[in-house]
Amino acid sequence: TGYITLDDGYSNTGSCQSDVTFIDGEKGILRYRGYPIEQIAQNSSFIEAAYLVIFGKLCNQQERDDFADLLSENAPLHQSMLKHFDGYGSNGQPMAILSAMVNSLTAYDPQVMHPEDENDLVYAAASLISKVRTIAAASHKTTIGEPIIYPRKDLKYVENFLHMMFSTPYSEYEPTPEVVRALNMFLVLHADHEQNCSTSTVRMVASSKANMFASASAGISALWGRLHGGANVAVIEMLQKIHDEGVDPSVFMNEVKDKESGRKLMGFGHRVYKNFDPRATILKDAAFDMLEKMNIEDPLLDVALKLEEVALQDDYFVERKLYPNVDFYSGIILRAIGIPLDMFTVMFAIGRMPGWIANWKEVHEDPKARIYRPRQVYQGEVDKLWVPRDQR
Ligand code: CMC
């Protein structure tokens, strides 16, 4: 197997050609379908950004309205599907519930498995984007032991999610404009990020001709880990620990630099960005803005700022070009909205759904797409002789 080149962790392998997202990691540039992330974050709702990422163009009013109608139509879950939640109890992990339920959706609506034309595909995409939000909110209600709240037809995407998360049978939750804006921005900034671990997982699964929902469910599982989407939980746990135990950030940083400790500065570093992650820059400003407007003081923001300050002046981080990534400040915003920690990675999954769908669609629509089948460099033993069990 001498002809096989090892590319550990695929850091230098272009696994596909794609038109969806562009990143220049040296310059800190991110674009969806050619549009700079700063412009999209400033101007777009999550649904507009989702449409752009999936269908490759800015939607006009008619397209926006039609897509919104499909989202509303697809928001409720099949009545039988609601019974799944009863089985999980209050210790259910929302990420586990989410990936299982997204895969289960095809059992209730088999037509989404085989989109035959553009209309079918728009329907399947709208169904997945809409239902992932309903499942997410219902899994939260299940884990806190409250009744599931049904979606409302009159609410927009983000408002409807907040309603299902925070309304109760006795009270209707009414979000402030700051909360709606911040959550839209959070989701927009997570909408796609080229061939990250979960998206390349989606493409891998899609390459066997698996359906959109099965592929997205695999993406959710890949996202769960702490080096990927789970980092947004790990960051808050780290900040909280430093805060609660009164650890000096410089002392904490020494532990991080000591490789023996196995510690990392969570929310720092990136495979592609060797400069500021533009999403982190936007989220940091948004976090300040939001806390000020909502009149909230979050001591964890102060800890984060201090850690960033120490890291950016430290040779270890400077030499390795480690900067804050999207997960470093996003948790501050989610906390201010009132999202509980065990839902943070679920929020990332809702946001990333358009990117997964767009990448699934590229694989699905490419007549020349081949099954993903990387090779390996075998390191094991060879030519061994079988030993009967009584002689081992
Ligand atoms: N803290 C301390 N050292 C770090 C960190 C960190 N956060 N990140 C990288 N390093 C060191 C690493 O130990 C290595 O040092 P050396 O060259 O001495 O062995 C060097 O920097 C290069 O890092 P790497 O591990 O080869 O980088 P990678 O591209 O394989 O991993 C990463 C990228 C994001 C997994 C990693 O930076 C990391 O674990 N960061 C913390 C977890 C995190 O924040 N993940 C979210 C990523 S962004 C959003 C997403 O994808 O979900």
How far does the centroid of ligand 1 lie from the alpha carbon of residue 348, in Å? 19
Closest residue by Cα to residue 354 from 104, 67, 61: 67
Measured CA to CA, the distance from residue 140 to residue 126 in angstroms comes to 22
pTM, two decimals, is 0.96
Q: Which residues line ligand 1 (CB under 6 A)?
A: 9, 196, 227-229, 231, 256, 264-271, 320, 322, 325-327
Sheet holding 35-36: strands in order across? 21-24, 29-32, 35-36
In this structure, the residue with its CA closest to atom 36 of ligand 1 is: 269
Measured CA to CA, the distance from residue 80 to residue 84 in angstroms comes to 8
Verify whether residue 117 is a known catalytic residue. Answer: no
Verify whether residue 163 is a known catalytic residue. Answer: no
Q: Tens digits of per-residue pLDDT, 92-141?
A: 789 999 999 999 999 998 889 989 999 999 999 999 999 999 999 999 99
Measured CA to CA, the distance from residue 128 to residue 216 in angstroms comes to 9
Q: What is the DSSP letter of 36?
A: E
Nearest-atom number in ligand 1 for the CA of 328 is: 44
Catalytic residue among 163, 193, 270, 364: 270
Strand partners, 38: none
ipTM of the complex: 0.98
Residue 109: in which H helix or E strand, if any? none
Q: Could you give phi then psi for residue 20, rounded to 5 degrees?
A: -85, -65
Output the CA–CA distances (angstroms, integers) from residue 98 to 4, 140, 350, in the order listed.
38, 10, 10
Nearest-atom number in ligand 1 for the CA of 230 is: 52
pLDDT for residue 89: 73
Name residue, tokens 């926006």.
64
Measured CA to CA, the distance from residue 207 to residue 315 in angstroms comes to 42
How far does the centroid of ligand 1 lie from the alpha carbon of residue 17, in Å? 25
In this structure, the residue with its CA closest to atom 50 of ligand 1 is: 228
pLDDT in tens, the chain (392 residues): 568 999 999 999 999 999 999 999 999 999 999 999 999 999 999 999 999 999 999 999 999 999 999 999 999 999 999 999 988 877 778 999 999 999 999 999 888 998 999 999 999 999 999 999 999 999 999 989 899 999 999 999 999 999 999 999 999 999 999 999 999 999 999 999 999 999 999 999 999 999 999 999 999 999 999 999 999 999 999 999 999 999 998 899 999 999 898 899 999 999 999 999 999 999 999 999 999 999 999 999 999 999 999 999 999 999 999 999 999 999 999 999 999 999 999 999 999 999 999 999 999 999 999 999 999 999 999 999 999 999 99
Measured CA to CA, the distance from residue 49 to residue 158 in angstroms comes to 13
How far does the centroid of ligand 1 lie from the alpha carbon of residue 269, in Å? 5
pLDDT for residue 333: 96
Measured CA to CA, the distance from residue 292 to residue 302 in angstroms comes to 14
Nearest-atom number in ligand 1 for the CA of 270 is: 34
Nearest-atom number in ligand 1 for the CA of 320 is: 21
- Cβ 376 vs Cβ 4: under 8 Å: yes
How far does the centroid of ligand 1 lie from the alpha carbon of residue 94, in Å? 26
Measured CA to CA, the distance from residue 128 to residue 355 in angstroms comes to 12
